[in-house]
Homo-oligomer: A and B are copies of this chain.
C-alpha cells in the first residue's frame, strides 16, 4: 500500500468509475495503482484538451464528478481551455496532477513550471498534497468540493505517491446541498405574482427534466415567460418540454428581447452579459430598473428551489401536456439539394433519433438549429458554455462514455473541431456511438461577421488568410480515417440523410463532413 493506492481507493469509494488520462513519468505510481486496485477504468486521450473536454461532457451527463489524471504543468496547460468551459458549465471535475518529487522540484528540472499558478486559473478548489498521510483526506475534500459543480485540483508530488502511509484509513467524500432561503423564494414568488412583464430565467439544474416541468407549472400559474442564456450547459428539449427562449448572441438582439420585461427571477442562472464588448453597446444586458430576484446559489439545488417557488405560487401540479406552453411533437420536413448552414440545422432536426444527446459547437452554422429542434422527439442539448473553442469533439466523447446506450450527435464547426480533433481516436478506441457532423464552411465565420460589424469589409488580402480555413482545404474524411473513425463527405441533403442513417444504424463512431455552400 502506497500513497497512490490510497488515492485510488479514496476515489473508488467516492463513486468515481472512469479517469480521463494522459499520464507521464510523474504519474506512473498512480497508473500502477489503477492496475492493482480494480474499480476505475482509465481512458487515454492523445492530448489533454481531450481529457478536460471529455470530463466536462461526462460530468454534464452523469451529474457526478469526472476524474482526470494529468502530467505536470504542460499537461495541465493543454487542458485549461476545456476546463474553462467546464467551469462555466458548472461541471463537477476532480483533477489529479502528478508533480515532481518534493525534493526534486527546488532544482527546477526542465519540466518544472508554476503549476500552482496555472491550476489556480480554472480551479475553484486546489491543494498541493503535503504528505502521504494526507492523500486520502485531500482527495476526499477535493471530490467533495467538486460535487456542487466545480473544478477541484489535487497536485500530487510523486514521492508522496510512492511512499507508504502510516495508516490505510480511507476518507469519504461528502456533500449535501444547502436548503434555499425561504425569504428569497417568497421574494421571487411576490415578483412573479405582481410584475406585469416577467420572465423566469433558467440555468444549471433547472434545465433538466424536473426543473423544466416545474418551470412550466410556474409559467402556467403566473404568465411569466421562460428564458435561458445563449449557451446552456445541459438542457432537456423537444416534445413534452416547455419551450425556453434563448437570449440571442449579439447584444442588439439580446437587449431587444430582454427590454420587453420589467422583472426577472433567475434560477441557477447568471444575469446575461454581452459575449464581447462593442463600442457604444452595453456590457450588462439588463438595466438597473429591471427588477430581479436570484434563487439557487452555487451551494443550493436550484431545481429544488424552483420546486419551492412553484409551491409558494400554488402552481398547478397537473400534467401540462395539453398546455400551449409545452412543445407538441413537430418535426420539420427534410429539405433537399445543396447543403447550407440552415439546411444542415433543418436536416438534423428532421432526422435526429429520440433520446439523442446533441453536442452543439456549431457557432454560426448552427444559429437556426435551436428553434427548429423545439418540437422533435425528446433529446439533451449540450453547448459551448465558456466560448473556448475545441469543446465539441472531446465533450461528445465524454457524453458517450457517460451514456453508452444513447446516440451522441456532435454538430460541429470545422474551425473549432480542428482544436481538439485528436479525441476522435478515443471515440474509435472505445467504439463510442458518436456521430460528428462537421459543418465545413472553411472559415472562422464568426470573425468575418465581427469584422463586418466593425466596418472592416471587404476584408483585405492580409487579414483574410487569418479567417480562411481553405488554401488548402482541410480533408475531414482523411483526418477522421487517420484516427480510425469511418467517415464520408456530403454535399447535399440527400447525401447527408443517407450517411446519417447509416451512422445511426451502425455501432461505433462516424464522421460526416458537410460541405456548406
Contact = CB atoms under 8 A, between A and B. Distances in A.
Contact of A111 (B122, B386, B418, B459): B386
A247 to B, nearest CB: 12
A428 B477 CA distance: 18
A26 to B, nearest CB: 7
Interface stretch (A57-65, A209-217, A294-302, A444-452): A444-452
Contacts of A483: 472, 474-475, 479
A25 B276 contact: yes
Interface in A68-110: 73-74, 77-78, 80-81, 84, 88, 100-101, 103-110
A482 B484 contact: no
A158 B118 contact: no
Nearest to A88: B110
Interface string A42-62: 111011010000000000000
A464 B162 CA distance: 19
Contact of A46 (B84, B121, B418): B418
B104 A274 contact: yes
A81 B84 contact: no
Interface residues of A, number: 100
Given A283-B103, A447-B24, A478-B478, A463 B34 contact: yes
A178 interface: no
Contacts of A22: 466
A121 B113 contact: yes
A388 B100 contact: no
A456 interface: yes
A132 interface: no
B118 A25 contact: no
Contacts of A121: 73, 77, 113-114, 117-118
A100 B387 CA distance: 13
Contacts of A38: 462
Given A117-B117, A422-B418, A21 B74 contact: no
A273 B32 contact: no
Contacts of A101: 276-277, 283
The interface centre, meaning the residue of A73, A77, A84, A456 with most chain B CB atoms within 10 A of its CB, is A77
Contacts of A447: 23-25, 28
Contacts of A500: none
Given A103-B277, A273-B110, A484 B472 contact: yes
B277 A100 contact: yes
Contact of A110 (B47, B108, B387, B477): B387
A103 to B, nearest CB: 6
Nearest to A419: B47
A31 interface: yes
A386 B29 CA distance: 23
A481 B475 contact: yes
A456 B28 contact: yes
B46 A275 contact: no
A385 interface: yes
A454 B158 CA distance: 12
A35 interface: yes
Contacts of A476: 482
Contacts of A389: 74
20 contacts: A23-B447, A23-B466, A31-B466, A34-B462, A35-B459, A47-B419, A73-B388, A74-B386, A77-B80, A77-B81, A107-B274, A109-B275, A110-B275, A111-B276, A117-B121, A158-B276, A418-B422, A475-B481, A476-B482, A479-B479
Interface of A: 21-26, 28-29, 31-32, 34-35, 38, 41-44, 46-47, 49, 73-74, 77-78, 80-81, 84, 88, 100-101, 103-111, 113-114, 117-118, 120-122, 158-159, 162, 231, 273-277, 279, 283-284, 385-390, 415, 418-419, 421-422, 425, 428-429, 446-447, 450-451, 454, 456, 459-463, 465-466, 468-469, 471-479, 481-484
Given A44-B465, A110-B386, 19 more contacts: A25-B276, A28-B451, A35-B456, A42-B463, A43-B465, A101-B283, A109-B276, A109-B277, A109-B283, A111-B275, A118-B118, A118-B121, A159-B277, A159-B279, A162-B279, A428-B472, A429-B471, A475-B484, A476-B482
The 10 closest A-B pairs by CB, nearest first: A104-B277, A472-B484, A101-B277, A74-B388, A479-B482, A77-B80, A478-B482, A74-B81, A111-B387, A35-B460
